[in-house]
């Protein structure tokens, strides 16, 4: 039943309802694919027994004509979501043996609607990274081969690196922090996966791997039970092969949660109903500030293609200004580390997780955190602690929050002027190589988020849509930014771009 893994999430859902195959058959097909793709390092924990048990229960419900919207559909879960009785580590050594006694709200809603858990998926440590190279489990390898590599070369190089315990340098990164989720969907190791997005961690990896991913409006999905990075920026969202797949998953993931005080008590629309609607008359804003120095000519050309596709579909194209965009990245890298410093203070070796003994409490803290946290997490904790310190709080943190307000106001003014959505590139370049930027100037890595952080700073929804291939055959994506709690418009316009762009194809199955 390996052909099942080529189906979209929507096709699997419909096939299960039509009894074309069973959930057990679909789940087994994905488990087999995961086993053959272990070299990609997309999954950090496989849960085959639990998956098959969940599938059996789903099949029993389907046989009776019962079941939820995702009944029997296998999914991958980012290792940032607490899963009851199943190890959850945030891909950090400091909690590498943590087994939650509770379930995150998002995953509990997926199980409520009948989904099946295939396993936990790799991510950057505590979601801090843009390439999935900071994980304590090692980097994820993109299923897309570097230019001019044959399938045989890729297979041999990966096998050699894994056998010798070496970092698979030269392969492409899948993006981050949700790189494992993006790689798993792109490699057909699951039809859909959960992710989190703090500054672009769903949209950037989706663009790098040629799939769709949406960061919903802040407050649309509960953050309860998700390991926190930056609480005012973090938001859960789905990955899928298509825009429709994301719409289907988001319907189950979204909703009010009284356990999360930032969760909005709003009705969840039928997002799938927005797919296929006309974009005629929609006003699409094109922000002039997103034409940044050093942007690839291919990205600029793709952006123009997206503009042309939407104009041809009947949308009105309007140039707009978001004047505070240039301050978004530096402001983000003050706000996010500050919140990270506060959130990660709980990992001290006293209550749970890693503990390295010391002669007194301060030494225990120091040794535990030195051993448990990776280099990027330490860097952000240090930055965050610095900007929150008494002498610098007003100069850095308060000023960054003021800039954040101005960024949000820029968007509000554009939407008040009649703009329905804003079209931008998703990334400044195609995927880069493992080891190419890690360990170098961290600012160079941070620049990967240049087009995405504004969305999180303003709390708005944003979707990345696969839109083309580079001259070297690597995926490229476009981003749509919408009004708060208007994900439906993004699904409508995103689907139109997806249809105009056509299929990018899928990666070669070179790793098997």
User: How many C-beta neighbours within 10 Å does residue 166 have?
Assistant: 9
Out of 104, 135, 142, 177, which one is annotated catalytic? 177
Tokens describing residue 427? 């990334």
| Active-site hit among 28, 78, 120, 282 | 78
For the question of residue 378 being annotated catalytic, the response is no
Q: Is 78 a catalytic residue?
A: yes
Tell me the backbone φ, ψ of residue 217, rounded to 5 degrees. -60, 140
Q: For tokens 């649309």, what's the residue? A: 220
Q: What 8-state DSSP symbol labels residue 286?
A: E
438: left (phi over 0), alpha (psi -120 to 50) or beta: beta
From residue 389, how far is each of 229, 331, 345, 386, 471 by CA, in Å? 19, 17, 14, 5, 48
CA distances for 176 relative to 159, 335, 492, 496, angstroms: 23, 19, 26, 26
Token look-up 């006694």 returns 101
Q: Which of 92, 131, 178, 201 is catalytic?
A: 201
DSSP string, 189-214: S-SEEEEEESSSTTHHHHHHHT-EEE
Strand partners, 463: 214, 480
Report the C-alpha gap between 320 and 318 in whole angstroms. Answer: 6
CA distance 486 to 506: 30
Concatenating the DSSP letter of every residue in 92-143 gives: -GGGTT---SS--HHHHHHHHTT-EEEEEE--SGGG--SSS-S-TT-PPPPS
For the annotated catalytic residues, the residue numbers are 78, 177, 201
């Amino acid at each position: 039943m390996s052909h099942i893994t080529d189906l979209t999430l929507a096709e699997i859902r419909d096939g299960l309802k039509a009894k074309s195959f069973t959930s057990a058959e679909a789940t087994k097909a994905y488990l087999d694919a995961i086993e053959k793709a272990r070299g990609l390092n997309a999954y950090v924990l496989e849960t085959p027994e639990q998956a098959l048990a969940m599938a059996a229960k789903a099949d029993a419900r389907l046989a009776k004509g019962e079941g939820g919207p995702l009944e029997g559909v296998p999914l991958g879960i980012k290792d940032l979501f607490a899963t009851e009785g199943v190890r959850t580590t945030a891909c950090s050594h400091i909690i590498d043996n943590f087994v939650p006694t509770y379930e995150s709200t998002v995953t509990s809603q997926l199980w409520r609607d009948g989904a099946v858990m295939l396993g936990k998926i790799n991510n950057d440590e505590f979601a801090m990274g843009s390439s999935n190279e900071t994980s304590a489990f090692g980097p994820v390898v993109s299923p897309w081969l570097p230019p001019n590599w044959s399938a045989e070369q890729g297979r041999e190089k990966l096998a050699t690196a894994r056998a010798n315990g070496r970092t698979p340098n030269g392969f492409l990164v899948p993006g981050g922090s949700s790189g494992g989720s993006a790689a798993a969907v792109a490699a057909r190791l699951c039809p859909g996966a959960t992710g989190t997005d703090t500054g672009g961690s769903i949209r950037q990896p989706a663009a790098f791997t040629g799939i769709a991913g949406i960061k919903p409006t802040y407050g649309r999905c509960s953050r309860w039970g998700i390991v926190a990075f930056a609480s005012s920026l973090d938001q859960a969202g789905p990955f899928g092969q298509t825009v429709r797949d994301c719409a289907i998953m988001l319907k189950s993931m979204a909703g009010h949660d009284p356990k999360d005080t930032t969760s909005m008590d709003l009705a969840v629309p039928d997002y799938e109903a927005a797919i296929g609607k006309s974009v005629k008359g929609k006003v699409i804003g094109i922000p002039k500030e997103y034409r940044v120095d050093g942007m690839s000519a291919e990205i600029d050309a793709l952006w123009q293609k997206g503009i042309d596709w939407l104009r041809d579909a009947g949308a009105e194209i309007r140039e707009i200004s978001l004047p505070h965009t240039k301050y978004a990245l530096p402001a983000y890298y003050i706000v996010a580390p500050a919140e990270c410093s506060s959130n990660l203070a709980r990992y001290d070796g006293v209550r749970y997780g890693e503990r390295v003994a010391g002669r007194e409490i301060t030494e225990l803290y120091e040794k535990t955190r030195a051993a448990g946290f990776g280099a990027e997490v330490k860097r952000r904790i240090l930055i965050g602690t610095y900007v929150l310190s008494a002498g610098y709080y007003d100069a850095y943190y308060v000023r960054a929050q003021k800039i954040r307000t101005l960024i949000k106001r820029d968007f509000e003014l554009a939407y008040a002027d009649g703009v329905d959505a804003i079209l931008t590139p998703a990334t400044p370049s195609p995927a880069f190589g493992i080891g190419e930027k890690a360990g170098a100037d961290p600012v160079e890595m941070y620049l990967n988020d240049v087009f995405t952080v504004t969305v999180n700073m303003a709390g708005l929804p944003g979707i990345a849509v696969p839109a083309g291939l580079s001259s070297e055959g690597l995926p490229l994506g476009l981003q749509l930014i919408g009004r708060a709690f208007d994900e439906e418009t993004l699904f409508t316009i995103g689907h139109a771009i997806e249809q105009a762009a056509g299929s990018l194809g899928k990666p070669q199955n070179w790793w098997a």
